[in-house]
Structure 1
Amino acid sequence: METLKSAVPDALKQEISNSTPSQLPSTCSSLLHFFHKLPQFHQMIKDLTDPSVALCCKDRNAALENKLKGNECFSNGEYSNALLFYSKALRFAPVDMGDMEINLVALLYVNRASTLQKMGLLLECLRDCSRALRVSPRYAKGWFRRGKANISLGKFEDAIRDLNISLMLEISSSGKRQIEAELKIALDKFKRIGIPGKKTNQNQSEVPDEPDQVKLQCLLTTTKGRGMFCVDDVSEASLVHKEDPYAAVILKKCRETHCHFCFNELPADAISCVSCSIPLYCSDWCQKQAGAPKFDRSSNSFSDLEGLADDLKNYMSDVVLAGASTLDTGHIAEHRHECQGFHWPLILPSEVVLAGRILVKVIEQNRHASADSNLVGFLLVILLSQIQVNSMAVVRMQAPKVKGPIYEPGNALTSNLEQVKVGQAVYVAGSFFNHSCQPNIHTYFLSRTLHIQATEYVLAGSELELSYGPQVGQWDCKDRQRLLEDRYSFTCQCTGCSELNVSDLVINAYRCTKLNCLGVILDRTVTTCEKQKLKLLIDAPTVYSKQVEKLKDDNIAEVACHVFESDYKLEPQHCLVCDSYRDLESSCAAISQTENCCKRLQDAIASNEVPTNILRDAVKYTDLLRTIFHPYNKIIAEVEDNLAQAFCLVGELQAAIDHCKASIQILEKLYGANHIAIGNELIKLVSLQILVGDTAASGSISRITAILSRYYGSHADEIYPYLRHLKGRQDAD
């Protein structure tokens, strides 16, 4: 790729660099024309797409090598390592290896099933047995292992069928005796219980039906282009919109840990494509939806078995062909055009892959139209220029995995919960929702499906806005606007950026030198930003009058009462309540003394071991910070949060609770009492309250439930699995 880039003439590079949007057609054509004449370009395309040399080709030797390593680990009782090696072998194993008596893929699935059973993962074991039989329906050991898994699951009727089929297919005497012994166990247990095990639907969701979605209207706005508006009033916590992506791609960092289709975490029995070695899927369903080739075995594979009852033949057919039909969801089979060639998501940037997948979908939907290469190239450039703005990051909530009751000390949750980006996708309707630093809707993802929830009551005809980046309370106004301009090329004019608010005044503010004064002192850059807001308001007297009344309700008078005075001029380093002066240069010098101490505390927390001297110094320097920063400054909230974690680690739980509460009180000033950030912090608090037997835990759990339901509706428990444990504890009390 670098060789190709270096081959582009400087004059053409300069032409492309200086081109305007209107010149894109000509510059794109020039670049395409140059590459078409370049032999290296055509050779690179061949190298990347030839199945015999592509990065994703199968490798028999690699599969056999990993199988042997898995066998060794299994023999030594190292089941976790055996699972890893068998899974890796499955990625490389060709589906048809003709020189083996038993199909290698089927053998590996059975080996992995045996490992999963040893680890107590019985459902995963059962699924792998079924996958082995789809590859090799006459594989006696596959039916035998499936029968044993069904016995462990209490599904004795299925186990008896599995073992009878295995007995019919087994040719060795020792193997038959082993099967007969297991069959006797299954028959005895079935007779005692008298009923078959209940069959479960793996795809059935426990989440209740969602409410009807809100009627939306796409309208042109004067400042932000098209936007989405609600036709009727929208209640708080209503599902506003739900949509599957037009195109999606997993991020490179998540290729080994998350499903390449639904983006959920990979289970122990993850599966790979049968034709190439790169993608991984969490289920057969996701594999089919992605368009990966699937095993295709018909009932003719076993219909000629003599002595096998018809009901067992039908049962074999059900097992082997289970879920064989491909579901028509209307999306592009993303992996199909990459399979057995070069796997583009492995190398190319996510935006480029998304652009390519969109083009493929457009071409597939318009097969009758001829595809002009110059037009396709031009469209690709246009797509690349738009995708960064219009695509969405698919995120997952990173939460701890709880083992055992939450009231055990090792399960106290005091670390930060955060959203982790796992994929990138384009949503057609979703791209029309505009940004606001004070959004009235919230986005979340189940699998790859976008859900948008109203977080407050919205009047009919109002615009529904989400946040593209930091919201009010996360960063101050100048930093938010700089990020939005750099990343999305627009200057934010939302209410959070055009009107005064408590958060932007206090988030990075210094405290007044007078002991009992809560007034804020701003530095020069923040003062300049707030002056611009005031100028916009003063230039619109009606708006200014309404804003003054609103600001009184928002308690701005508590920290900056001078802003209500029409003739007052904001000045840096002066208190906005009593006008006292603070030398910020000396204050910043004092703050620098605390940086190393805070870093040592964070490192100690990360190592789960906090020495007494580090904690003592951290408390000392925190007291110093409180004399410099405003009480509502976000840095103080972060320091309080770190102290809560540290005190929890050393076993001083009441001190941890006190610091956690102090952090929450500051964040309530920055975000409001019902923001999702408060819900995340309350989860930490309630974990500590449960540990000390604090009766206030029940009230905290109720408040968490209300906040998370506001943002995630009926899916709150699914997004936050930890919440289920908290509710279980509340019910037990």
Structure 2
Amino acid sequence: MEKLKFAIPETLRHKIAESAPNSLHSTCSSLLDFYQNLPLFHQLVRDLTDPEMALCGKNKEAALEAKANGNVCFSNGDFSNALRFYSQALHIAPTDVDDGEKNLVATLYVNRASSLHKLGFSLESLRDCSRALEISPAYAKAWYRRAKANASLGNHEDAINDLKISLKTETSLSGKRQIQGELKIMLGHSGQRSSLLEEPYDITQDEPLQVELQCIFTPTKGRGMTSYTDVPQASLIHKEDPYAAIILKHCRETHCHHCFNELPADAVSCMSCSIPFYCSTKCQMLAGGCGSSEHKKQYEFQRNLIDDLEDYVRNVTSPSITSSELDHAAEHEHECQGVHWPAVLPSDVVLAGRVLVKHIQQQSYDGAHPNIYAIMDLCQNYAQLSNESKLELHVYAIILFCCLQKFYASKLPFNSVIISEGQFHGNCPHEIFRCQSASRLSRNNVCGAGIHCNVRVAQAVYPGGSFFNHSCQPNVHAYFLSRTLFIQTTEHVTAESQLELSYGPQVGQLNCFERHQVLEDRYSFICQCRSCARVNLSDLVINAYRCVEPTCLGVVLDSSVTKYEKEKLGHLKVPNSLQGYMQDEDISSVAFQFCKENDNGCCLEAGHCLSCGSYRDIQASQKTISEAETYIGRLQDTMTGNEVPIKTITDAIKYFDVLKTFLHPFNKKVAEVEDNIAQALCLAGDLQAALDHCQASIEILEKLYGKDHIVIANELIKLVSIQLSMGHESAADNANRLVKIFSRYYGSHADIIFPHLTYLKKV
């Protein structure tokens, strides 16, 4: 990549640097003409697109080697490593290869099912057996292993049916005797047919949208969304599936490449290449790999199977997916060639390709010639990109065009790729987050103070969702179930007021200076939301220093913060016009002189207290702060285990007292240290002290975020878990409070996304 950029002549570099959205075709055409005569470029394209040279194809020999390693581990009782080797083999095993008399993939599924069963994962074992039977319906061992899994789950009727079919398909005498013995045991039990293999949640059954929205144009933010009527708090106002989506590289082995949920122990792979992992056969088929639409090999059963067992076999061996679902999105199909360009190119470049392919497919269904200009407006911020960014996306556009041509050939217009790639990189797509380990409730299974336990797992393009503008204090909340975007109001919104969500940084998370940096770097705009245009308590205190006067609660700011607060007030000529301009009435408690009428204005200077004007030497203070943070950091380093040395805790508390003499009581770092100490004290068994520090952390975060913010609900989980361990009656009130906050942000989906809420409702 760097060599390709370095080879571009200076004149062409200058032309690209000066390019605008309407000149993208010209500049990219010039770059393509140059690369056509560059051997280095042609070698790169061959490396990316030649299946013989790629590392992402299936490999029979490597799969058999991994299977053999798994067999050794299983024989030695090392079931965890056996599971790992069988999963590795499944990832690279071709679907049309036999291992002895059985299909290799089917055998690997049965082997992995045995490992899962030994490790106590009965449901996962059951699913793997069913996958083996989808490939080889007459596989006796798969039916037998499925019976064992069903028996472990209490599904005795299903287990009996599995054993009956296994008995019919087993050819060896010893095998038949073993199955007959199991049948005698099972016939003494009865139960209902299991529904465990069904999807846990069907978003098609979701509650309907509650309001009608309209897209408007504003002088400062362009397009935005409003409602014709007042919108009550906690109203579902938008629901949308992505136009295209892509998993991020760091989550490729931990999350499903289609629905983006965490991968289970029985993850499945693409049928034709070794890039994606999926949480289920359904996601595998919906993603649309090259082999996903092929019919499985059929096997002839003995004709004396009774009718009810024939139906049972059909239900087990046929994936529950409709043709309409398969037509919905086949975004992996054009990448599934045994080539590795989708694995090598950046995720957003691959996503740009998926957007383009989706559009071309839709146009071809309608019999229309592909018109990339009709996709969506994606070039609003192109002109604000740096010269280096423009050059980089031009190079990626040419590479993407050549890679896609291997699949689409003459169907792919050159200008469509160039414009799509160029426009796409002018805007960032939505980022899909997942709450990690949300189903477990534990006082130690928590993240740092005021930080969501969310993991960024994917990027997606939602045309409708893109109309919602950003605010650092949003009045709507976006979340995801599988791939579907949901947007819900978090406060009452009056008619024709803008409905705004957060693009990432929020008040309470970062100060105004830091938020502006993030938004400009990621989205190329300067935020003009209500919070960035007003003085608010959070921005003043989040990184503030303490006044040198012990009895003064005033804040002392550094130069970066004072610059932005001055800009907020720059247009005001009369100091007392600040009345009504403050966003939080508590500001007066930390900035008395700042709010007070003064002929000379307030003392808004770095290092000076905003209440009494006293001066603190911030540079000198920082030396002592850094030393204290070193000792406190040792505490966090030791919390990776189950025990924390008492001396480490006492040292941290000692230096925390020093830290508090320099940092303002509402400084976010103080909240984070309070939280770390609370977790350490929990590990040490001192629950009362842990409770006190946990409460202190929450009180600070309430000042930064507000009392009903989702961050507070996350922190209340820690508090409630400690209170429950101590038998405190107040746990019920706090549990009820956090349940209400989660419902405010996630509505009826709160219990689905956070299963522990069901337990907390009973507290």
Same fold (TM over 0.5): yes
Closer/same/farther in 2, CA of residues 296 and 187 from structure 1, 3 Å limit: farther
Matches within 5 A, 1:258-657: 258-292=255-289, 293-294=291-292, 296-297=294-295, 301-302=299-300, 305-323=302-320, 325-328=322-325, 331-367=328-364, 368=367, 369=369, 373-388=413-428, 391-399=429-437, 402=440, 417-538=452-573, 548-549=579-580, 551=582, 554-564=585-595, 565=597, 567=599, 568-572=601-605, 573-657=607-691
* Deviation digits for residues 213-255 of structure 1 (CA, Å, limit 9, x no counterpart): 4311111110111111122111111112111111111111111
CA distance in 1, matches of 2:38, 2:308: 64
Q: 1:626 to 1:311 in 2, by over 3 A?
A: closer
Q: Who is 1:251 aligned against?
A: 248
- Checking the alignment, whether the CA contact within 8 Å between 2:431 and 2:458 is kept in structure 1 is yes
Quote the Cα distance in structure 2 between the aligned partners of 1:350 and 1:441. 28
* Residue aligning to 1:217: 214
Which digits, 9 at most, give the CA deviation of each residue in 1:385-429, with x for residues without a partner? 2242xx0111111246648xx6xxx86757665211111111111
The answer as to whether partners of 1:231 and 1:460 remain within 8 angstroms in 2 is yes
Q: Give the counterpart letter for 1:549 in structure 2.
A: G
Q: 1:37, 1:689 → 2: CA distance?
A: 71
- Code of the residue aligned with 1:548 in structure 2: it is Q
Unaligned runs of 5+ in 2: 371-410
- Give the superposition deviation at 1:361: 0.7
In structure 2, the CA distance between the partners of 1:9 and 1:203, relative to structure 1 (3 Å rule), is same
- Aligned 8 A contact 1:94 1:275 in 2: yes
Q: Name the amino acid aligned to 2:593.
A: H
Residue type of the alignment partner of 1:451: F
CA distance change for structure 1 residues 691 and 30 in 2, over 3 Å: closer, same or farther?
Answer: same
Q: Is the 8 A contact 1:28 1:377 kept in 2?
A: no
Alpha-carbon distance between aligned partners in 2 of 1:141 and 1:84, rounded to the nearest angstrom: 21
Aligned to 2:199: 203
Q: Assess, with a 3 A threshold, how the Cα gap between structure 1 residues 720 and 204 changes in structure 2: closer, same or farther.
A: closer
Q: CA deviation at 1:504?
A: 1.1
Distance 1:688 1:380, change over 3 A: same
Deviates more, 1:624-633 or 1:12-21: 12-21
Distance 1:199 1:557, change over 3 A: closer
Q: Residues of 2 paired with 1:443 and 1:17: CA distance? A: 35
Give the C-alpha shift of residue 593 in structure 1.
Answer: 2.8
Which 10-residue stretch deviates more, 117-126 or 45-54? Answer: 45-54
Call closer, same or farther: CA 1:589–1:102 in 2, change over 3 Å.
closer
Secondary structure of the corresponding residue to residue 354 of structure 1 = helix
Provide, for residues 76-117 of structure 1, a one-character-per-residue CA deviation record: whole Å limited to 9, x for no partner. Answer: 222121111111111121112257311111111111122222
* Structure 1: runs of 5 or more not aligned: none
Query: Partners in 1 of 2:584 and 2:334 — Cα distance?
Result: 58
Of all paired residues, the percent bearing the same amino acid is 55
Aligned 8 A contact 2:66 2:89 in 1: yes
Cα distance in 2 for partners of 1:662, 1:196 equals 51
Q: Distance in 1 between matches of 2:736 and 2:300?
A: 57
Where 1:396 maps in the other structure, the secondary structure is strand
Structure-1 separation of matches of 2:354 and 2:297: 36
SS at 2:455 equivalent: strand
Partner of 1:159, secondary structure, is helix
Q: Are the counterparts in 2 of residues 645 and 656 from structure 1 also a CA contact under 8 Å?
A: yes
Work out whether residues 414 and 687 of structure 1, in 8 Å CA contact, stay in contact via their aligned partners in 2. Answer: no
Q: Is the 8 A contact 2:135 2:296 kept in 1?
A: no
| TM-score (norm. length: structure 1) | 0.91
Equivalent-residue separation in structure 1 for 2:348 and 2:295 (angstroms): 38
Q: CA deviation at 1:622?
A: 1.6
CA change 1:517–1:376 in 2 (3 A) is: same
Are 2:127 and 2:197, in contact at CA under 8 Å, matched by a contact in 1?
no
2:542 & 2:98 partners in 1: Cα distance? 68
Judge conservation of contact 2:602–2:610 (CA < 8 Å) in 1. Answer: no
- Is the contact between residue 438 and residue 471 of structure 1 (CA under 8 Å) also seen in structure 2? yes
Q: Distance in 2 between matches of 1:330 and 1:566?
A: 69
Q: Measured at CA, do residues 100 and 448 of structure 1 come closer, stay the same or move farther in structure 2, by a change above 3 Å?
A: same
Moved more, 486-495 or 620-629: 620-629
Tell me whether 1:144 sits opposite 2:126 in the alignment: no
Distance 1:528 1:297 in 2: 66
Over residues 501-543 of structure 1, what are the superposed CA-to-partner deviations in whole Å (9 max), with x where a residue is unaligned?
111111122222333222222233322221221123448x9xx
Does the C-alpha gap of structure 1 residues 47 and 593 become closer, same or farther in structure 2, counting only changes over 3 Å?
closer
CA gap of 1:694–1:315, structure 2 versus 1, over 3 A, is closer
- Deviation at residue 348 of structure 1 after TM alignment: 1.0
* Partner of residue 111, structure 1: 111
Distance 1:624 1:120 in 2: 50
CA spacing shift, 1:217–1:185, aligned 2, 3 Å? same
Secondary structure at the aligned position of 1:337 is classed as helix
State the secondary structure of the residue aligned to 1:179: helix
Contact 2:554 2:591 in 1 (8 A): yes
How far apart in 2 are the matches of 1:143 and 1:504? 63
For 1:113 and 1:412, how far apart are their aligned partners in 2?
29
Q: Alpha-carbon deviation of 1:21?
A: 4.0
Contact kept in structure 2, 1:559 and 1:576, CA below 8 Å: yes
Distance 2:629 2:188 in 1: 70
What's the CA shift for 1:344?
A: 3.7
CA distance 1:707–1:508, change in 2 (3 Å): same
Please give the alpha-carbon distance, in whole angstroms, between the structure 2 residues aligned to 1:360 and 1:222.
34
Deviates further, 256-265 or 206-215: 206-215
Q: Distance in 2 between matches of 1:127 and 1:586?
A: 63
Query: Where does residue 156 of structure 1 map in the other structure?
Result: 156
Distance 2:98 2:584 in 1: 78
CA contact under 8 A between 1:501 and 1:551: conserved in structure 2? yes
Moved more, 433-442 or 292-301: 292-301
Task: Name the CA distance, whole Å, in 2 between partners of 1:263 and 1:152.
Answer: 29
* Other-structure match for 1:236: 233
Structure 1 residues 521 and 74, CA, compared in 2 at 3 Å: closer, same or farther? same
Q: Distance in 2 between matches of 1:719 and 1:213?
A: 21
TM-score by length of structure 2 reads 0.88
Measured against aligned partners, the alpha-carbon deviations of 1:317-373 in whole angstroms (never above 9, x if no partner) come to 232223253343764311111113324442111110111001101111122416564
Q: Which whole-Å CA distance do the structure 2 matches of 1:678 and 1:650 have between them?
A: 25
| Distance (whole Å) between structure 2 residues aligned to residue 151 and residue 614 of structure 1 | 50
| Contact kept in structure 1, 2:447 and 2:453, CA below 8 Å | no
Counterpart secondary structure, 1:301:
coil
Shift of 1:267: 0.7
Q: CA deviation at 1:199?
A: 4.1
User: Which residue type is aligned with residue 171 of structure 2?
Assistant: I
What are the Cα deviations for residues 133-174 of structure 1, in whole angstroms up to 9, with x where unaligned? 111122222222223333333333333332222222222111
Aligned residue for 2:426, secondary structure, equals helix
Paired letter, 2:587: I
Structure 1 distance, partners of 2:431, 2:423, is: 17
TM-superposed deviation, 1:635: 1.8
What is the DSSP-based 3-state SS (H/G/I as helix, E as strand, rest coil) of the residue aligned with 1:29?
helix
What does residue 31 of structure 2 align with? 31
- What SS class does the counterpart of residue 579 from structure 2 fall into? helix
Q: CA 1:680–1:104 in 2, change beyond 3 Å: closer, same or farther?
A: same
2:722 aligns with one of 676, 688, 691: 688
- Secondary structure of the 1:249 match is strand
Aligned residues: 713
Relative to structure 1, the CA distance from residue 682 to residue 314 in structure 2 (aligned partners, 3 Å threshold; closer, same or farther) is closer
Aligned partner letter, 2:430: M
